[in-house]
Amino acid sequence: MRRPLIGLTSYAQHVQFGRNDMMAGMLPMNYVKAVHATGGRAVLVTPDDPGTDVLESLDGIVFTGGGDVDPAHYGAEPHPQTEVDAIRDAAELLLMRAALDADLPVLGVCRGHQVMAVATGGALHQHLPELIGHDRHRAHAGTDPLAASAGDYGRHDVVIAEDSRAHDLFGRHVSVNSFHHQAVADPGEFVATGWCPDDRVIEIIEHPGRRFALGVQWHPERTADLRAFVALTEAALIDRKVAAVV
């Protein structure tokens, strides 16, 4: 059976590897492995190109984690802690709107979840610690984020609304890792269906008018719980069968 082709948006980032120090198109391998482990074939979609024609070749797309979305895209002034990634913003807002228009199966992870909200008229909280008075969405107190191992992500519960796609996937509760300092304030055309019970920070959004458009604020690609990726791959397969019948 052919594997569905899943695009992953990628960073354009100055990066050090081996003896090299240069601008690269790049993405942590966790995302690639998560797609391959759940039956898809990953290709990286670089942000250095403003076109959306690549979507015609994909069966599904993941909008991945990364830097902050420029608040200008939701009509706010930048907070001092906001570090924007303008190149990715331009490419991903276009791609997100085009993917939703085409009803391509879409998964948003962390920044990608936030791009979903902003691309459909929503808005973000720019710095959670000022809103909720703690920084537990970024890391456990006393851990070193520089170590960059999965255990350094702050862990917390998410409670999930009944009668939602997320509920079908995860049930009433899911325990998640967390590494972000911004969050969705207004989900735009999406609907919030999962929250952190301690502080009501939005953790899951989904689009009621699309076959599969789900955003999660955490990082499933860094865990053994790949249910969000499984759901994307399944939606991508169904999408293609429908296309084949038509």
Partner 1 sequence: MRPIIGITTYVMPASWGVWRDLPTALLPHDYAAAVTRAGGRAVLIPPDDQDTDVLRVLDGLLISGGPDISPGLYGEEPGPHTVIHPERDEAELLLLQAALDRDLPILGVCRGMQLLVAAHGGTLHQHLPDVLGHERHRVAPAVYSRHDAVFTPGSRIAELMGADVAINCFHHQGVADPGKLVVTGRAEDGLPEAVEDPDRRFLLGVQWHPEVGRDRRIFGALVAAAAQSS
- Smallest gap from residue 170 Cβ to partner 1 (A): 26
Measured distance CA(95)–CA(11) in Å, rounded? 14
Q: Is 57 in the site for partner 1 (CB under 8 A)?
A: yes
Measured distance CA(168)–CA(61) in Å, rounded? 21
Catalytic (active site) residue 167: no
Q: How many angstroms from the chain centroid is the CA of residue 109?
A: 2
The catalytically annotated residue of 92, 110, 156, 180 is 110
Beta bridge partners of 53: none
Residue closer to partner 1 by CB (options 53, 163) is 53
Q: Is 142 in the site for partner 1 (CB under 8 A)?
A: no
Residue among 133, 141, 147, 245 that touches partner 1 (CB under 8 A):
147
Cα distances from 64 to residues 108, 159, 218, in angstroms, run: 6, 23, 11
- Smallest gap from residue 106 Cβ to partner 1 (A): 17
Catalytic (active site) residue 92: no
Q: Which two tokens stand for residue 20?
A: 């090299």
Amino acid at the residue 2: R
Residue among 14, 75, 224, 241 that touches partner 1 (CB under 8 A):
14
Catalytic (active site) residue 221: yes
Q: Is 43 in the site for partner 1 (CB under 8 A)?
A: yes
Our CA dihedral for 189, 128, 32, 117, rounded to 10 degrees, sits at 10
Q: Is 143 in the site for partner 1 (CB under 8 A)?
A: no
- Taking contact as CB under 8 A, which single stretch among the options 13-21, 109-117, 119-127, 161-169 is the one that binds partner 1? 13-21
- Taking contact as CB under 8 A, which single stretch among the options 5-13, 112-120, 206-214, 229-237 is the one that binds partner 1? 5-13
Residue pair 137/201 in contact (Cβ under 8 Å)? The answer is yes
Cα distances from 8 to residues 3, 30, 109, 122, 226, in angstroms, run: 15, 11, 10, 22, 15
Q: Is 240 in the site for partner 1 (CB under 8 A)?
A: no
Binding interface with partner 1 (CB under 8 A): 2-3, 5, 7, 10-30, 32, 36, 41-46, 48-49, 51, 53-54, 56-58, 67, 145-148
